[in-house]
Amino acid sequence: MPSPFPGVDPYLENPEYWSELHHRLITAIAIDLSLPLRPKYQVAIEKRTYFSTPEDTVLVGIPDASVYRGRTQKASTQQQSSTAISTVPIQVEVPMLEEVREAYLEIRENITKKVITLIEVLSPKNKRSGEGRIAYEKKRQQILSSETNLVEIDFLRSLPQMPILKYHGVSDYRILVSRANRRPLSDLYPFSIRDRIPAFLFPLQTGDNEPVLDLQILFNQIYDQAGYDLRIDYKQAIIPGLSTQDQVWADDLLANI
């Protein structure tokens, strides 16, 4: 059963599903491009690893219910031994450094091993302020200052968008195709939750026959392969939430399933 949404299914932006979707989408793009780019190019799945800073980390601890039960038990013990302990400590949580691994794609020329095109599917860590965004923006600028093409796919509505000059529009999602030989000009494909994901010519070296990358087809295949129609409860609220107008539109759409 296909997704009830015409393009990106906003339910898959929920943290419960996003990490898996990111992994599946990177793999699907790699498979889709591998044959059309042979024998001149190879498609490599690469990973970056970094640790979040204390300011950017997620607090690691036991669930709230367990914390509540522990406090009750400790309060009783403290009352019984109040004569032996003069200072009662305050229970706090400490930030833990979190190891983050993110996958991305590199299109390399087989003979020279030169990276021709980089493909990034943005994650919450890339877009949210903190170490992840700092690391990604640094790499992004390095790519934009090089001879490597960049394809940047942003399927996350609720977080700050990556900087783009001379574009002041607002869109739910964006695909940026930046060809090294045309910079600073680049192709931007903005689209909304109501739209089909745009297809585009995949950038290679000048003179090469560029294949069409149709992410909507890949998205639909992933939805079926992962069985999201069986896993998503479309009666639940969309996380992150939609605008009032889009929520009305989504409610009408979902009323028919």
Domain extent for 26: 10-59+99-254
Tally of structural domains, the chain = 1
Per-10-residue mean pLDDT of the chain, 257 residues long, equals: 95 94 97 96 86 46 32 47 68 71 90 96 85 85 94 93 85 96 95 97 96 98 97 96 96 90
Tell me which residue of 202, 227, 149, 183 sits closest to 37, measured CA to CA. 202
pLDDT at residue number 62: 31
The answer to whether residue 174 sits within a structural domain is yes
Residue 120 lies in a domain: yes
**Is residue 76 domain-resident?**
no
Confidence at residue 52, expressed as pLDDT on a 0 to 100 scale? 59
Asked whether residue 199 is domain-assigned, the answer is: yes
pTM over 0.95: no
